[in-house]
Amino acid sequence: MFSTTRKLSRLGQWNGRRRSSRSEDPVLARVWQPSVLLRLTTVLLTMIVVTLLPYWWGPPQPHRLGQICATDLRVRAYFEVINHPETEQAREQAVQRLPSQMGADPAAREDARQAVPSVVERYPVGVLLVRRGQPITLEQLMLLHEEHRAYQRSLARSDHTRRGVALFLVITLLAGVVVLYVTRFQQVLAQSLSKIAGICLLVVATMALALILSTPPWHAVLMPLTLAAMLLTIVYNPQFALLLSFSLALAATVALGTDLEHLLIQMAGLSSAILLLRSVRTRTRLVQVGLGAGLAYLAMTVAT
């Protein structure tokens, strides 16, 4: 009736390290081992490649057709656009004004067309392109693309250098967090060069596909991120998948120049896919997890 078992003390319940860490080799000493240096070099090369991908890709156009912006979109750099419909109309009018004898001559008609200069529309800095609260039309989107190109051409070399350094620092911080986690909680992964190389290859492929699929008409940056998150969950564990997926989502957000709303949408779907993916015994389970992630993406999109 009454238990005679004595309650263990707090120290007696400890099931972790039972010896002093002073007897172990210092961390810096282990870093200089050839095998550790090789694994760290693989991670460093991955960081450089992931940084160069968005740097070479350039800052993308953050706006899309039908998007409603919370602020007015104005011209940041002067640019000019040829109005092709008005140019063609002016040239046709010049041909119609030719005398009847010259109007029958194809060469004279072509000379009259070429004599009319192109109609150029000029957009100085500060001109309103899209009013806030209004959906972006196709014509406005084309103007935004031209304005974006003009703005990129107006940037100095120092601006591009600062962007590259900022990208590398962000990637370095994210990679450092992942490396510390793997060293602390994923000992098998930390000691395997082949597994580290596989993770690095997955990261590079995911970032490359995210940049490619972020352009119109796809706008499908969520697809490679979701597939990578599900693959990491199946191969490793949800904790590691959550950390690396968050790092990939944050890196993609910085690379694409999007705002916090897009990051929240990405994390809602990625975390749902990871936490729903417990065991995969049939292909139907993957479809169910994909539907759950899609509903999470939709809910967060509506909420933001």
Cα separation, 220 vs 301, whole angstroms: 14
Cα separation, 231 vs 226, whole angstroms: 9
User: Percentage of residues in the chain with pLDDT exceeding 70?
Assistant: 90
Other residues' Cβ atoms within 10 Å of the Cβ of residue 137: 12
Bridge partners, 79 (sequence order): 123
Cα separation, 109 vs 96, whole angstroms: 9
Bridge partners, 130 (sequence order): 73
Cα separation, 258 vs 51, whole angstroms: 16
pLDDT for residue 282: 80
Bridge partners, 68 (sequence order): 135
Report pLDDT digits (tens) over 5-63.
555 554 444 444 555 555 555 656 677 788 899 999 999 999 999 999 999 987 777 78
Collapse the DSSP code of 241 into the 3-class scheme (helix H, G, I; strand E, B; otherwise coil) and give the result: helix
Task: Output the CA–CA distances (angstroms, integers) from residue 52 to 45, 57, 164, 204, 218, in the order listed.
Answer: 11, 8, 8, 11, 22
Both tokens of 285, joined, read 């389970």
| Overall average pLDDT of the 174-200 stretch | 94
Find out whether 242 and 271 touch, Cβ atoms under 8 Å. Answer: yes
Sign of the alpha-carbon dihedral angle for 279, 282, 287, 291 = negative
Q: 76: Cβ–Cβ under 8 A, 6 or more apart, which residues?
A: 125, 147, 151, 154
- Which tops the pLDDT comparison, 75 or 285? 75
Query: Which residue type is seen at 48?
Result: I
Give how far the C-alpha of residue 35 lies from the chain's centroid of Cα atoms, to the nearest Å: 32
Collapse the DSSP code of 222 into the 3-class scheme (helix H, G, I; strand E, B; otherwise coil) and give the result: helix
Report pLDDT digits (tens) over 249-279.
999 999 988 888 899 999 999 999 999 987 7
Cα separation, 129 vs 141, whole angstroms: 9
Bridge partners, 120 (sequence order): 82
Helix spans in the chain (H): 27-31, 34-57, 84-96, 100-103, 106-115, 138-154, 157-185, 187-190, 193-213, 222-235, 238-256, 260-276, 283-303
Mean pLDDT of the chain: 87
Both tokens of 159, joined, read 């601006």
- Residue 179: closest CA among 227, 275, 246, 243: 243
Residue 217: is the preceding peptide bond cis (ω within 30°)?
Answer: yes
| Overall average pLDDT of the 226-230 stretch | 95
Residue 216: is the preceding peptide bond cis (ω within 30°)?
Answer: no
| Overall average pLDDT of the 130-153 stretch | 92
Find out whether 261 and 244 touch, Cβ atoms under 8 Å. Answer: no
Report pLDDT digits (tens) over 54-88.
999 877 777 888 888 889 999 999 999 999 889 99
pLDDT above 60 (res 1): no
